[in-house]
């Protein structure tokens, strides 16, 4: 499958915002080279126009499937832009991080799309990315669960080379704030990549003084928040990737239960 399926998302809500400005140069080269492949009837819903974005409202006559495709593709284009920001945050190119992005795209859209994504990211790394403007656009049109999933992916990307630099920590903090994540949810996702007991409590957004009943309630609350069904509109592949967050919550709960001898 070629670039067309997910580049089509660029023709939606991001076309007129900062993300469109960053990615537009690459779309132009695709069209000039004749490699752009149109998927379906080419009428993706123009998020940011009269569709009500990702949160409902007037759909402008677009089918539910067209809206879902637009959401999925726009999510992935946002992912590429912010991936470029994370990769260059530590001041040098890290091949393992680029491979991580390629593998994610390969699982979703095949080898051709993964190679084209690599070219997009390399181009984006030569651009100045205003995280605040990009984040504001994402916050406006992407629902909260989708933003949580996007942030979890970006933290995974930063961890993919085995370490997280100070620059990456800083850029992840800026991204979390710009896309409107709460400080608790930001800390919860960051703590999913640590193995100590203190981090397990942070994953569940409680502290170690919580009662056993409060621990159980926190687990149920967080399991619901991070359930893969929350991002089902982004497609089966992204939904499957979201299972990792859900598993992280379960693992944190089991760690706490074991430490307390809870049944």
120-160 per-position pLDDT tens digit:
888 888 888 999 999 999 998 889 999 999 999 999 999 88
Distances in Å between the Cα of 165 and the Cα atoms of 95, 168, 170, 180, 188 are 15, 5, 9, 23, 19
The residue ranges of every structural domain in the chain are 1-131
pLDDT one-digit tens code per residue, 166-195? 888 999 999 999 999 999 999 999 999 999
Q: Which of 119, 156, 2, 133 is nearest to 78 (CA)?
A: 133
pLDDT of residue 155: 94
Q: Tell me the CB-side half-sphere exposure of residue 185, using CA atoms within 13 A.
A: 22
Q: Is 41 exposed, middle or buried (0-12, 13-18, 19+ CB in 10 A)?
A: exposed
In contact, 73 and 40? CB cutoff 8 Å: no
From the CA atom positions of the chain, what is the Rg in Å? 19
Report d(CA 83, CA 48) in Å as an integer.
23
pLDDT of residue 32: 47
Average pLDDT over every residue of 54-80: 66
User: What is the three-class DSSP state of 42?
Assistant: coil
Report d(CA 153, CA 131) in Å as an integer.
16
With cut-offs at 50, 70 and 90, classify the pLDDT of residue 35.
very low
pLDDT one-digit tens code per residue, 209-220? 999 999 999 999
Q: Is the dihedral of CA 71, 43, 15, 24 positive or negative?
A: positive
pLDDT of residue 144: 95
With cut-offs at 50, 70 and 90, classify the pLDDT of residue 29.
low
pLDDT of residue 50: 33
pLDDT of residue 9: 44
Instruction: Find the length of the chain.
Output: 263
């Amino acid at each position: 499958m070629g670039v067309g399926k997910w580049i089509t998302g660029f023709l939606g809500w991001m076309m007129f915002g900062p993300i469109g400005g960053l990615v537009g140069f690459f779309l132009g080269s695709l069209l000039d080279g004749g490699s752009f492949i149109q998927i379906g009837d080419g009428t993706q819903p123009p998020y940011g126009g009269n569709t009500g974005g990702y949160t409902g409202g007037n759909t402008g006559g677009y089918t539910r499937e067209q809206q879902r495709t637009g959401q999925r593709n726009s999510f992935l284009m946002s992912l590429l832009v912010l991936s470029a920001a994370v990769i260059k945050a530590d001041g040098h190119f890290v091949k393992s991080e680029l491979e991580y992005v390629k593998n994610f795209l390969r699982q979703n859209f095949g080898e051709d799309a993964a190679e084209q994504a690599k070219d997009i990211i390399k181009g984006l790394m030569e651009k100045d990315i205003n995280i605040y403007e990009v984040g504001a656009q994402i916050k406006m049109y992407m629902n909260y669960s989708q933003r949580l999933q996007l942030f979890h992916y970006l933290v995974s990307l930063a961890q993919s080379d085995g370490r997280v630099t100070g620059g990456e920590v800083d850029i992840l903090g800026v991204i979390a704030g710009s896309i409107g994540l709460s400080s608790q949810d930001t800390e919860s996702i960051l703590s999913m990549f640590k193995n100590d007991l203190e981090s397990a409590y942070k994953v569940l957004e409680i502290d170690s003084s919580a009662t056993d009943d409060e621990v159980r309630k926190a687990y149920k609350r967080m399991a619901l928040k991070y359930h893969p069904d929350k991002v089902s509109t982004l497609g089966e592949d992204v939904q499957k990737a979201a299972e990792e967050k859900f598993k992280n919550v379960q693992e944190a709960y089991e760690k706490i239960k074991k430490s307390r001898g809870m049944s």
